[in-house]
Structure 1
Amino acid sequence: MTRWGDMEPIEEPPEWDGEGSMPEPWESEIDDDGVKTVIFYEENNGEISKIKRRVRVEEKTERISKAALRRRGLPKFGAARGADGVERGVTMKADPVYLERSSAKKDKPEVQASEKKYVPGMGLAGKIGVRMREGQDAPEEETQAAATPSGYVPPALRNAQGMRRGPDERQGNLYTLRVSNLSDDATRDDVRDLFSRFGRLARVSVPVDKVTKRPRGFAYVEFYSEEEATRAQQELDGHGYDSLILAVEFAQSGGPPRTKTY
């Protein structure tokens, strides 16, 4: 694979001066490593940005039906009428979803004779009462479970009833980093692999657009340790990732406040 510093410069199109309509996306030829450069302009909140990406091209053989192949040749209509092929902002391609049917019957556990006396929907306290009327001693763990309410318990009352929360539920001990300027090709697993080398992660979230179903360009990473979160923020802030420069900072109420030096 060609190293970043050994790549030959690519003849890019001239810069757009902002006059007239926005130019169409430009693509370079595929190099020996199967990578091409894509340059396009995008408008966001009234500001026009030039985006440059390196995309790896892979050939994949896919079997489709003849009817699907004929539908691809149908003329476009309505808002999609225009140039042939996929159009940005008009044509959307969804990932295929495969359904698996399971015909195997699940084995049902045998019902004991004592269990037949229980009414469907009877709580654990009712079952213990049936056993006591028959002269049977209820197990100690079931008696303790019956004394504990099975419904929702507010977090403020959990410790009072002896219900201790685990580390995953103590949200106040988590330190959240916000990762901006992230490539929309990066998945949650990619972000997890990038940050997991700094320590144990509690959660990784990559928000996606409701319409395009693609990442929105930022992510949230939660650490259990403040020291590990601080080290990850210092080392990855300004780090190059997928031809973009990452911006990593502590989210609000997710870590110590930062002081910027100008």
Structure 2
Amino acid sequence: MPVADEVKSSWADEVEEITEDLPPPNEIYENGLKIATEYKRNEDNKKVKIVRTYKIERRVVSKSIALRKTWKKYGIAKDDKPGPNPATTVTSEEIFMQFITSREEQEKPDDDILEKLSSMTDKTVKCRTCGGGHWTLQCPYKDTGYIPTKPTTPAITEEKKPVSTQPEDKGKMKYVPPGLRDGANKRGETMGSHQRHRDDAAAIRISNLSESTQESDLEELVKPFGDYNKLFLAKDKSTGLCKGFAYIHFKSKQSAANAINALHGHGYDHLILGADWSKPQTHHT
């Protein structure tokens, strides 16, 4: 009888038989460690057991990072376990970002301004309570240990004398017109003109301000030089940004002069400020 030819298996079947006897990889978690075991054959076709031990660390992260870790993966990484998979994810070096606003609000420029103001003369920064070279801000004596011999009160640069409604001789009751009373202009003046002249005399104009300047910034800038009656920051009606100049009406002319001497040529928000006396407005009749 003819002998049947033996059926020879292909090389693919032989490879499949070889790989079938390898145990599947497994992972064990115990005592804060992750133990991953994997089996494979080396170049000599010998079975090799590979054991990798990972230490599990718990880190405190921000809420945004913790929220991103709960996102579901997609694409070819849809079935991946938590964490980066080297087959589908490329992890590069960490890149630290520094966010810079339009005003570049950093501590260093603020410190430079404070240092420059503190190095000015006592006429520029002067406490109204004890007369020391610091800001008032509810003194008392600004934690320096300095106790003045005579407690002082906040200086009043200009005082308006009370208008007497009666003549010195109480026996003779005589009506005195407002235009002829003490402290009044004998030639007569319009309503509010006296106060307006006082404001214009102690008014200054600050120019070359940045577009991001606000009223609070301007107030902090002029606060060390004394009290002021009003402050006006020119803004564009459509954009609301600063138009580059502002007017400050101080209560005293000396405070206005100190502000001009200190702020003219002063660096503020990467610009050089200009300060000068405000020109009084001319009223046509």
TM-based fold match above 0.5: no
Please indicate the TM-score interval, normalised by the length of the shorter structure. Answer: 0.3 to 0.5
**Which structure is larger by alpha-carbon Rg, 1 or 2?**
2
Q: TM-score, normalised by structure 1?
A: 0.36
**What is the TM-score when the length of structure 2 is the normalising length?**
0.33
